[in-house]
Structure 1
Amino acid sequence: MNHFLFGACYYPEHWDRSWIQADAALMAQAHVNVVRMAEFAWTLMEPARDAFDFGLFKEAVASLKAQGIDSILCTPTATPPRWLTAEHPEWMRVDINDVPFTHGTRQHCCTNNPGFRAESRRITRAMAEAFKADAAVIGWQTDNELYCHVEECYCESCQVGFREWLALRYDQSIEKLNHAWGTLFWSQQYDDFDQVVIPKKWRQPAPCNPSALLDFRRFLSDSVTAFQREQVEILREVNPDWWITHNGVFYNIDYYKFAEDLDFLAVDVYPAFWGTKPEDFIGGSQLNERCRQATGTYIVPEQCGGPGGQIDFLQPTPEPGRMRLWAYQSIAHGADGMLHFRWRTCRYGAEIHWHGILDHDNVPRRRFEEFAQEGAELKKIGADILGTTKRVEVGISHSYEQDHAQGVLSFSRPQPDAQRELLLGTLMRQKVAVGYVNEADSYAGLKLLIVPSAIVMDAERAEKIEAFVSQGGVLLVTATSGQRDVNNHAIEQTPPGLLSRVLGITVEEFGKTEHRRMQLQGAGLEMDANYYEIIQCTDAEPLAHWHFEQNPQTEAAEGCVGLSCNEFGAGKAYYLGTFLNEASAMELMQRLCDVADVQPLGRSDTNVCIIERYAADRRLTFVLNNYPEPKEVTALACGQNILTDQSCDGTLQIEPFGVAVIRS
């Protein structure tokens, strides 16, 4: 990026062509410097096979550039035209009940179908060739929100693709697959890969093979990554100067791997999905973190421009100031571009009430004024933001592999994703520099690493965790970690297996309660729980023990260790034999931050967020007030509020839904 991106999603195909120049002029008044276009316009650009007509978008790109506005184009493969789907009904996705999808929505064609892939490559190349010499087109988005609506498909192409993927994964050896899936259980052995069918978790007389389900999820991620890669290769071949992204993030895609083909990832953020109470900020924060952990730098191609709504729902209307606040929330987490959805609310279709910057009548009102304020501010401070990265001193380990391994055998226990969100919210409320860190990434620079329920463990990962602690890091690992291998098989060693050395423990037993009150007590902690693990300390020090209020003599865990700490090299490794809740998380996180010498970035009310981005020559402290009333913030880094050009002596008053950016 050579400047901070600010703009909106634009759909000239929904309006008369005569509106384009007026739209461009009004966008320029709001300091827009980029728009995103064409992700759903395949039919318009190719009304009949090979009858390409890119005239509307060429006109739009030119008119926008005349006002100083660049364009991001999208491959339109989420919405193939009817003439194409009518020719090939076999290209449709098939649901778990073996019912094919029909035309009239989006993402209805299977991205694993060879014929549809060929058509996707064809339209991608045609678009790329049409715009390859246009300097106003600065980048591309592949498709649109892959796996947003549906992830699984059970069509014949997926059956074939899954078998081919398995054969490649297991070196053409059905014996290796049988071993990896443990097919001796329930006499599931296969004689060759052609016998394998996609497992259907909810459509069987008894539970499916969990290792098969895990491999199917891996296949879903790898296959959609391959679908995208075909488009990326064409775009890079036609014009290597374009940058390329994709707008996530959804489930069943390992974005850390998916984004290796991209220049950076992107994420669509609609915080109203989680609500508009002050405490609901965590929904948007965790979504931004899921994107940032994959590529570091990212942009937001869609941020709310008004209340979102489709056929069966309408979100709360954001109060004045909310749109700007939510935009800065993403920027604080690391976004280097901010586009709002959409420029103008469409007058027809499934999103007739998914509101944009302008309403149906095209009259600029308060949302436009707020949008323009945001544009003016980002034009002013964008150069300060670019080149900075989010400070993370407390890392929360993120892994889709862990999510999938737990998800196929959840036992109704808190999943890693839910634990991450709880911990992220808790630590953000304590105003420390916290963020998600992919488990494949470096731990350099972290003071505290939290590993929530890393049930799958291998030697490489265990050694990296050991190195982090031995070099002085503080580690917290939570229940169920280290219990399985990469095939999702229970290991033969006593848990936590490969983590036993760094943690200095073994886990002798686990269980759950439903009607009896159970507490973990000791070291000044007292936390309620309904799941326990009995810890045997081999080298670690016991910190807290299990206690049952009623009939404790009948409980196996009574008096046993549930929280431990092991000094390992220059660091400390804690193990918690249960799952945290809001009350217990706040207390334990504060204690661990003290041990790791993690200092808050400032002080204020619970749901005022303080987030830092930094570079070698500057710190940017973002202060975000999620309350509808003013708040005082203290203990900030001294400097200048670059939004207002006022100096900050470490204390400031921030208005309702207000934002401050302190440069120091």
Structure 2
Amino acid sequence: MISTLLSQPQPGPDGGPTHRIAYGADYNPDQWPREVWDEDVRLMLEAGVNIVSLAIFSWARIQPAEDRWDFGWLDEVMDLLHAHGIGVDLATATASPPPWLTTAHPEILPVTASGETLSPGARQHWRPTSPVFRTHALRLVTALATRYADHPALVAWHISNELGCHNVHDYSDDAARAFRDWLRARYETLDRLNEAWGTAFWSQRYSDWQQILPPRLAASHPNPTQQLDFKRFSSDALKEHLRAERDILRRLTPHVPVTTNFMVMPGIKGMNYADWADEIDFVSNDHYTHPGPQAQDELSFSANLTSGISGGRPWFLMEHSTSAVNWQPVNLPKETGELARDSLLHVAHGADAVCFFQWRQSAAGAEKYHSAMVPHAGADSDVFRTVAALGGTLRELAPVAGSVREPAQAAIVFDWESWWASEQDSHPTSRLNYHQEALDWYSALLDLGIRADVVTTATDLDRYRLVVAPVLHMIPATLAKRLTRYAENGGHLVTTYFSGIVDENDHVWLGGYPGALRDILGIRAQEFAPLPDGSSVPLDDGTTGTLWTDHLAVTDPATEVLARYAAGEQAGRPAVTRRATGTGSAGYVSTRLGRDGLTRLLPRLLAPAGVESELPKEARGRVEATVRTADGSRYLFLVNRTDEQVTVPGLAGEVLVGEAAAPGALVVAPRGVTVLRQPAV
């Protein structure tokens, strides 16, 4: 069902359906005069656009007052798009409340931890737990679903937009009441809550539910488990709003699938998307690159993780940029080849739709300098010619639509709750960056030409020969048992500093670090030894550690020391270890080695697992390989990680995108992508 929707089935030559990759953008016709709309659909057809997301920020236009509705313009746009064969992912338009609503009901506005009420004038100025907002939002959803239930242009529902981007943590009285209800459901009794929160410390024991508040601005560090539970609650509160809108849509339009756009990318960590994925019919994601030496690797990592959240099934790239964005300190345009490469890298990792923000670059408003498919310069522009060329490339890739990612031999585990907990205050260092540590491992594997999946803790890890779990800080007892069983049954586990330290209540696993993983790793640390800013420590294998060290001792004869600290307070102590257990092993890296250090270390960890690159030596590190499979075919994507042409020998098959240099050799252009169809093994 998902691949059929995303592929936009069209009549084939034999009368049956063929599929295509969906291609389009957010479309905001209400920003433009009526005469522009006809030019829009003409250019959409020229560019190969076959789907648009519509009415995302149109609440004030659809409902100009509490007792007035204006659907005429939206009817006309829906009819116009359908007449030209363009499907609509119709938004519920609830992302940004109109001025009449916030004027009549200022109690829907979010409140910060310091007690300031956020004013309207931007977007997402609403409390996820506000019953008043919920009533008005669901009234709008009901009106839209009732009116467009049977419209032939409607192919999917788009709930709100980037839920939680600006309002994930609300500290209002509404939030306080909802937080207490959430806590009652989680703990049932105050005794259990007091135990979980460790309220014996600092005289915080609660004797009445009404005493409990969100972790608002306090004189010192708020209770850490209270902070953690508020993060869980805040993610759940948005999820409940998602469910409320979804349930109306499923009741009124059961034949139309429902999605919402996640934001799997750096800096966005308030929403536990792994927990949200089952609430929608297919996963969608927005992604914007962040400049830096790992920009392309981070795009690949996020697309890979989105596929992991989706369970390997095809997903929808709802937004990315054609060129520059408008919200970074310096907004650089994309270089030649980057627009297509970035788009196809998402496809390589399972996207069956490639969409941008937005179709036509706005002439006014906060995002007028954000790039679009039709820029300010118009259709006579390099950007538009490039997006039109990409539309042609995606038509060539139609056979890929509906295929699934082929599992890799290695995986990196990414866990939202460890991300939240590991970066809270009152820790051994405030410099720890969970996302960056995971990305460094991913980049190092790419540098070695190793294909790896990025997965969540709920994934069946037994399918992988090697599993890397960096900074897996929070490990409940059940997860500790799963990881132990994985290693004993032949898997090769690698984890790092500040892993296995606390349980699900943020209570330390006592007896020495790394706590829940101490026995399987065969090591024990008495103290953490983080490093000051600018400090580093050499290891005897030639690598250098930063950020962290451990006062580590080997506790099991089966534990092999792969590297030791060569200087400093920990000189001579183990820095990297591996313990054989059952038919597998468990390894530990006690310092931050960074991308380069991990690239040097990884071969020693990969060898026992039997994980090798599938690429010829000439291409390793220069090309990223990903694989999708379907119907007896294997689609090999080769993505150039360099600004130079790369020739990849020893590969046979049908070239769908790119060119062959000679029989059995492929050329991957600078910042380019080559796609090869091969018979499935």
In the superposition, the TM-score normalised over structure 2's length comes to 0.91
Q: Which residue of 2 aligns with 1:442?
A: 460
Asked if 1 retains the 8 angstrom alpha-carbon contact of 2:89 and 2:155, the reply is yes
Q: Which residue of 2 aligns with 1:33?
A: 50
Q: Which amino acid aligns with 1:261?
A: E
Given candidates 309, 312, 333, the residue that maps to 1:317 is: 333
Asked if 2 retains the 8 angstrom alpha-carbon contact of 1:638 and 1:648, the reply is no
Q: Deviations over 1:620-660 (max 9, x none)?
A: 2212224333233345x421221257587543232222211
Q: Which residue of 2 aligns with 1:281?
A: 296
- Alignment pair present for 1:518 and 2:537: yes
Q: Which residue of 1 aligns with 2:627?
A: 612
Asked if 1 retains the 8 angstrom alpha-carbon contact of 2:490 and 2:584, the reply is yes
- Alignment pair present for 1:600 and 2:624: no
- Alignment pair present for 1:567 and 2:580: yes
Q: Secondary structure at the match of 1:564?
A: strand
Q: Which residue of 1 aligns with 2:506?
A: 488
Asked if 2 retains the 8 angstrom alpha-carbon contact of 1:544 and 1:563, the reply is yes
Q: Which residue of 1 aligns with 2:211?
A: 195
Given candidates 463, 472, 481, the residue that maps to 1:454 is: 472
Asked if 2 retains the 8 angstrom alpha-carbon contact of 1:308 and 1:314, the reply is no
Deviation at 1:45, TM superposition (A): 0.7
Q: Which amino acid aligns with 2:639?
A: L
Q: Secondary structure at the match of 2:657?
A: coil
CA distance in 2, matches of 1:547, 1:529: 12
Q: Secondary structure at the match of 1:318?
A: coil
Asked if 2 retains the 8 angstrom alpha-carbon contact of 1:470 and 1:568, the reply is yes
- Alignment pair present for 1:429 and 2:443: no
Q: Which runs of 5+ in 1 are unaligned?
A: none
**Change beyond 3 A, Cα 1:416–1:530:** closer
Q: Secondary structure at the match of 1:506?
A: strand
Asked if 2 retains the 8 angstrom alpha-carbon contact of 1:648 and 1:662, the reply is no
Which one is further off, 379-388 or 468-477? 379-388
Deviation at 1:193, TM superposition (A): 1.4
Asked if 2 retains the 8 angstrom alpha-carbon contact of 1:344 and 1:357, the reply is yes
Q: Secondary structure at the match of 1:304?
A: coil
Q: Which residue of 2 aligns with 1:242?
A: 256
Q: Deviations over 1:342-393 (max 9, x none)?
A: 1111111111111211123533422122111111121222222422215322
- Alignment pair present for 1:59 and 2:73: no
**Change beyond 3 A, Cα 1:100–1:516:** closer
Q: Which residue of 1 aligns with 2:98?
A: 81
Asked if 2 retains the 8 angstrom alpha-carbon contact of 1:640 and 1:646, the reply is no
CA distance in 2, matches of 1:547, 1:302: 45
Asked if 1 retains the 8 angstrom alpha-carbon contact of 2:565 and 2:575, the reply is no
Q: Secondary structure at the match of 1:284?
A: helix
Deviation at 1:574, TM superposition (A): 1.0
Asked if 1 retains the 8 angstrom alpha-carbon contact of 2:474 and 2:503, the reply is yes
CA distance in 2, matches of 1:615, 1:424: 26
Q: Which amino acid aligns with 2:605?
A: L
Q: Which residue of 2 aligns with 1:351?
A: 367
**Counterparts of 1:115-154 in structure 2 under 5 Å?**
115-154=132-171
CA distance in 1, matches of 2:57, 2:436: 33
Q: Which residue of 2 aligns with 1:586?
A: 599
Q: Which amino acid aligns with 1:206?
A: S
Q: Which amino acid aligns with 1:575?
A: Y
Which one is further off, 497-506 or 93-102? 497-506
**Counterparts of 1:3-18 in structure 2 under 5 Å?**
3=7, 4-18=21-35
Q: Which residue of 2 aligns with 1:625?
A: 640
CA distance in 2, matches of 1:363, 1:454: 49
Q: Which amino acid aligns with 2:304?
A: E
Q: Which runs of 5+ in 2 are unaligned?
A: 8-20
Q: Which amino acid aligns with 2:537?
A: M
Deviation at 1:36, TM superposition (A): 0.8
Q: Which residue of 2 aligns with 1:405?
A: 421
Asked if 1 retains the 8 angstrom alpha-carbon contact of 2:539 and 2:575, the reply is yes
Q: Which residue of 2 aligns with 1:20?
A: 37
**Change beyond 3 A, Cα 1:50–1:528:** same
CA distance in 2, matches of 1:517, 1:370: 45
Q: Which residue of 1 aligns with 2:668?
A: 654
- Alignment pair present for 1:577 and 2:590: yes
Q: Deviations over 1:576-613 (max 9, x none)?
A: 22233122111122222232222223242745322222
In the superposition, the TM-score normalised over structure 1's length comes to 0.93
CA distance in 1, matches of 2:391, 2:531: 54
**Change beyond 3 A, Cα 1:23–1:604:** same
CA distance in 2, matches of 1:337, 1:354: 21
Asked if 1 retains the 8 angstrom alpha-carbon contact of 2:320 and 2:356, the reply is yes
Given candidates 289, 292, 317, the residue that maps to 1:300 is: 317
CA distance in 2, matches of 1:109, 1:96: 15
CA distance in 1, matches of 2:461, 2:506: 25
**Counterparts of 1:99-248 in structure 2 under 5 Å?**
99-171=116-188, 173-200=189-216, 203-248=217-262
Deviation at 1:128, TM superposition (A): 0.8
Asked if 2 retains the 8 angstrom alpha-carbon contact of 1:345 and 1:359, the reply is yes
Asked if 1 retains the 8 angstrom alpha-carbon contact of 2:375 and 2:383, the reply is no
Deviation at 1:290, TM superposition (A): 3.4
Deviation at 1:12, TM superposition (A): 0.8
**Change beyond 3 A, Cα 1:464–1:525:** farther
Q: Secondary structure at the match of 1:309?
A: coil
Given candidates 555, 560, 570, the residue that maps to 1:537 is: 555
Asked if 2 retains the 8 angstrom alpha-carbon contact of 1:293 and 1:438, the reply is yes
Deviation at 1:530, TM superposition (A): 4.8
CA distance in 2, matches of 1:211, 1:574: 29
How many residue pairs were aligned? Answer: 649
Give the CA RMSD over aligned residues.
2.1
**Change beyond 3 A, Cα 1:516–1:31:** closer
CA distance in 1, matches of 2:479, 2:60: 48
Q: Which amino acid aligns with 1:589?
A: L
